[in-house]
């Protein structure tokens, strides 16, 4: 990481798909592109990223999402706090 650049603040929400797979959705006030660039996923995670949407990471191996969050400083939020942050950041999170 470049010492001159401050880290990108990252916030995550853990959940499940309809098929019971674990999913981590990540947002940043710096935008979805900045959040995606700040997180490098390994082989134990599937990344779903599309323009105009928040990036989702799907767990292929147990514990992979927790490790991903710990390695990249992603602050895991409760649903209520997630919703409040999302409202605070507005459309900037999708840039």
pLDDT at 1 over 70: no
CB within 8 Å of 41: residues ≥ 6 apart: 47, 57, 68
> Is there a contact between 93 and 87 (Cβ–Cβ < 8 Å)?
no
The beta-strand segments (E) located in the chain are 10-16, 22-27, 45-48, 55-59, 74-76
**pTM attached to this predicted model:** 0.90
Domain map (residue ranges) of the chain: 10-94
pLDDT given for residue 6 in this prediction = 63
CA angle 7, 9, 14 (to 5 degrees): 135
88, β-bridge pairs: none
Mean pLDDT, residues 63-79 taken together: 97
Tell me: the pLDDT tens digits for 8-67? Answer: 999 999 999 888 899 999 999 999 999 999 999 999 999 999 999 999 999 999 999 999
């Amino acid at each position: 990481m470049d010492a001159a650049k401050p880290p990108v603040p990252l916030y995550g929400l853990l959940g499940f798909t309809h098929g019971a797979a674990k999913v981590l959705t990540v947002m940043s006030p710096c935008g979805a592109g900045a959040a995606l660039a700040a997180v490098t996923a390994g082989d134990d995670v599937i990344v779903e990223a599309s323009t105009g949407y928040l990036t989702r990471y799907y767990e292929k191996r147990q514990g992979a999402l927790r490790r991903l969050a710990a390695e990249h400083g992603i602050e895991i939020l409760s649903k209520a706090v997630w919703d409040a942050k999302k409202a605070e950041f507005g459309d900037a999170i999708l840039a």
